[in-house]
Amino acid sequence: MPVSFYKTNADVSTSKKYEKVIKSDRSKLLLNHFRLHDEGVPIVILVSGNHASGYPQVVNLLNEWMDTRFIETHVYQPNSDEEAERPYFWKYWRTYPEAGKISLHVGGWYTEPYINRLDGNLSADKLEQMITSINRFEELLSADGVLLIKIWLELDEETQKANLQEKSNRPYFAWQVTMDDWQNSHNFKERLALANEFMEQTNKKHSPWFKIDAKNAYKRDISALHLITELFDNRLNGSKPKEYEFKKKIKKPAKTNHLAQLDLTASLKRKKYLKKMYTYKEMLYIRAWEMYLRKKSIVLVFEGADAAGKGGAIRRLIRCLDARLYRVIQISAPTKHEISRHYLWRFWMQIPRAGFMTIYDRSWYGRVLVERVEGFASEGEWRRAYEEINQFEKELTDTGIIVLKFWLEISEEEQLKRFGKREKTEYKQYKLTDEDWRNREKRFAYNDAANDMIEYTNTSYAPWHVIPAEDKKYARIEVLNSLNNALKKVLGA
Q: 192: Cβ–Cβ under 8 A, 6 or more apart, which residues? A: 50, 154
Among 430, 444, 460, 493, binds a second copy (CB under 8 A): 430
Torsion, Cα of 181, 183, 184, 187 (10° steps): 150
Check binding of 31 to a second copy (CB under 8 A).
Answer: yes
Among 328, 486, 490, 491, binds a second copy (CB under 8 A): 328
Give the per-residue contact string, 296-325, with a second copy (x = CB under 8 A; - = no): ---------------x--xx--xx-xxxx-
Q: 375: Cβ–Cβ under 8 A, 6 or more apart, which residues? A: none
Residue 36: Cβ-neighbour burial (10 angstroms; 0-12, 13-18, 19+): buried
Residues 91-110 binding a second copy (CB under 8 A) are: 104, 106
Among 7, 73, 216, 436, binds a second copy (CB under 8 A): 73
Residue 305, Cα to own-chain centre: how many angstroms? 26
DSSP three-state, residue 233: helix
Give the per-residue contact string, 149-178, with a second copy (x = CB under 8 A; - = no): -----------------------x--xx-x
Check binding of 179 to a second copy (CB under 8 A).
Answer: yes
Q: Which stretch binds a second copy (CB under 8 A): 29-37, 191-199, 449-457, 463-471?
A: 29-37
Among residues 128 and 180, whose Cβ is nearest to a second copy?
Answer: 180
Among residues 51 and 319, whose Cβ is nearest to a second copy?
Answer: 319
In angstroms, what is the minimal distance from the CB of 252 to a second copy? Answer: 36
Provide the angle, in degrees to the nearest 10, between the axes of the packed helices 270-293 and 310-319.
60
Measured between alpha carbons, how far is 62 from 45 in angstroms, rounded to an integer? 10
Among 39, 82, 157, 190, binds a second copy (CB under 8 A): 82
Q: Which of 53, 37, 44, 113 is nearest to 72 (CA)?
A: 44
Cβ(33)–Cβ(70) below 8 Å: yes
Ranges assigned E (strand) in 37-195:
43-49, 71-75, 102-106, 147-154
Check binding of 289 to a second copy (CB under 8 A).
Answer: yes
Among 168, 184, 187, 330, binds a second copy (CB under 8 A): 330
Task: Write the secondary structure of 378-421 as one string of H (helix), E (strand) and C (coil).
Answer: CHHHHHHHHHHHHHHHHHHHHCCCEEEEEEEECCHHHHHHHHHH
Q: Which stretch binds a second copy (CB under 8 A): 54-62, 116-124, 240-248, 476-484?
A: 54-62
Residues lying near a second copy in the complex (CB under 8 A) are found at: 27, 30-31, 34, 38, 56, 59-60, 62-64, 67-73, 75, 80-82, 104, 106, 172, 175-176, 178-179, 286, 289-290, 292-293, 311, 314-315, 318-319, 321-324, 327-330, 335-337, 359, 361, 425-427, 430
